[in-house]
Structure 1
Amino acid sequence: MNFGQSWSTALTLFGCLLTFYIQTWEEHHTKTLYLGLVSGPVEGVLSLCVVFLVTAVKGGGHFWEQSVFRTLGIGREMLGWMPDEVYEMPWNKSFLVYGGIILGGSVTMSIHNVLQVRRAKSLSLLYPFLGLTPFLLNWLLAVLYLQLNPSILTHHHLLPLIFTLGLQNSLAVGLIITSHLTSSPFPHGLPLLLNAPLAAGVLASWYGVQGTEDCAVASLWWLFGALVGIYAGFVADVVVSICDYLDIWCLSIKHPWVEEAEVVAAEKKGK
């Protein structure tokens, strides 16, 4: 939507990752997957398809920088009571407002569902919120890192931060899903520990020991590479554990079905 390297892009990423994280957090505590009126896997994907289609038809992302009302042919005289800031609001900023409203409703409903289940079971109402601290801390550090290294935004280096935050969120969500499926306690430790490198980067930037802009960007790529290794190890561990438990192979059939052997076994059983 032609946001480019800006805080709007970072805000969009925050909304997408928060939806993914908090719905998994909700499922872990309620043992039920709730999907709101506007859910990411359905309406969210369809919205993206519409955005891509309109961008292609209009010939570029510049379309999203036009005023919504002017594009729809609604003249200023028809909305004289409306503030200029609202009337001139472009499509991309309008989508941010729309996304913020949907995100606020989704987060509110997730928290409500968790509290309702915990209250019905006479469990602590505060404990589940500890599970949100890894995500909130992660984004607090990300905002501080961008504030201390503004060149990441101004010099088009936002991509490694997007990769890093996305992969870190995926790993945290994967741990939550795994703990949910295995009826294990909520994973607080590792998701919090994953914030340590970014926290070190914030401290280094704060005290001016990180060095040049290139060092700040290189640190992000290093962190992304480390997360790739950690995530690969996590995936391999899950796959191997499941295969060992079920006595199967991952990409091939360990115990192929042989018709003759089944017939012989059935005959012996009949005798």
Structure 2
Amino acid sequence: MAPNLVTLVGFAWPLVNFLLFIIYAPTLTEISSSPLGELFDHGCDAINASVTTLVVTALLRLGPTDPSALFMLTISCIMFFTATLEEYHTHTLALGVINGPTEGILIMIALAFSAAAFSTDIWLMPANEVFGTSFAILDGVLLNQLVVFAELPIALSTVFTNLSACVRKPKHGTVSAATLAANLFPCLYLFALAWAWFFFSPGRILASAPWITLTSIGLLSAYLVGRLITAHLLLMDFPVVHTALALPTLAVANSALAHFGLLPAPPVDELTAAYALLAASVILYTHFAHDVISGFTTHLGINVLSIPYPPKTK
């Protein structure tokens, strides 16, 4: 694609958004939201959190053999999950001083422009050389690694803020540490499996097939967020055990059994298992989205992608 075509395609989306609002909100006062809209928005954002993070890791040329790619995906998805968990308990979506929808997007744009100006080779240069400094703490640290390290304090601050709000400002009753731990367990278990897959895969499958494996983990994380926001909207309990997590458990066990010598080799070829996990994750998320959206549209009597015009008055 020519660069100008890329620019034109990007411009088309805000233009379409503008035209849709002219049609469906001609007086700027029409209702254009519903519980389904909240679910739809969070569901898309949950997937976007994963795919955008993977794009950034590719932009920074982190490489799958380095744990930085999985680290970036882990902190991005956990931050999104805890933000949704805060909304689940407080019924308020509160964005911090530094957050993904604003500062996160601006940082990503800045990284992209930097790569465009200096080529992506800049991320593989020593940080001291790029900044013209000689800080001992940065000796041997590449610029892309410094970007990853900078994510950690932001992530920890965000997660702490989200979890403390669950305890301090719950909408219904008190929230104990045990309850928070139970809420966090599915997400933490998923990423514990991801890290186990990274370390215990005999064929280093996360390095040889990073897009397949990391996309699967991202989709499963988005599924958990979808379940959480659905529980919030329907005032339901968020389950501790999710049968969907049996999928990555089997994939990781397939690799880990051989790593620890319990089997001479993975029972299923690791690449085949990775593709199977990706296919199962896509089917799972698609089925979940269709099931929940159908339920909301039927109950609320609304459409998914169109707004019925109000009856004309004579």
Please, what TM-score do these two structures have when normalized by structure 1? 0.83
Q: 1:187 aligns with which of 239, 248, 255?
A: 239
Match of 2:154 in 1: 102
Matched, 1:64 2:123: yes
Match of 1:224 in 2: 278
Q: 1:113 aligns with which of 165, 171, 190?
A: 165
Distance (whole Å) between structure 2 residues aligned to residue 33 and residue 155 of structure 1: 36
Match of 1:40 in 2: 100
Q: 2:89 aligns with which of 20, 24, 29?
A: 29
Distance 1:210 1:226, change over 3 A: farther
Matched, 1:129 2:189: no
Distance (whole Å) between structure 2 residues aligned to residue 256 and residue 46 of structure 1: 37
The answer to whether the 8 Å contact 2:219/2:282 transfers is yes
Distance 1:150 1:39, change over 3 A: farther
Please, what TM-score do these two structures have when normalized by structure 2? 0.72
Structure whose alpha-carbon radius of gyration is higher: 1
Deviation track 1:48-90 (CA, whole Å, cap 9, x = no partner) reads 111111111112x22012233322333x3xxxxx42x424422
The answer to whether the 8 Å contact 2:206/2:213 transfers is no
Deviation track 1:137-175 (CA, whole Å, cap 9, x = no partner) reads 111111112222153358531211111110000111011
Aligned-residue sequence identity (percent) comes to 22
Query: Alignment RMSD, CA only?
Result: 2.5
Tell me the SS of whatever aligns to 1:161: helix
Matched, 1:248 2:302: yes
Distance 1:141 1:152, change over 3 A: same
The answer to whether the 8 Å contact 1:131/1:186 transfers is yes
Q: 1:176 aligns with which of 217, 220, 228?
A: 228
Match of 1:268 in 2: none
Match of 2:57 in 1: none
Match of 2:251 in 1: 201
The answer to whether the 8 Å contact 2:251/2:277 transfers is no
Distance (whole Å) between structure 1 residues aligned to residue 118 and residue 104 of structure 2: 21
Distance 1:33 1:252, change over 3 A: closer
Distance 1:230 1:155, change over 3 A: closer
Tell me the SS of whatever aligns to 1:4: coil
Q: Return the offset for 1:187.
A: 3.3
Q: Return the offset for 1:181.
A: 1.2
Distance (whole Å) between structure 1 residues aligned to residue 168 and residue 100 of structure 2: 23
Distance (whole Å) between structure 2 residues aligned to residue 43 and residue 31 of structure 1: 23
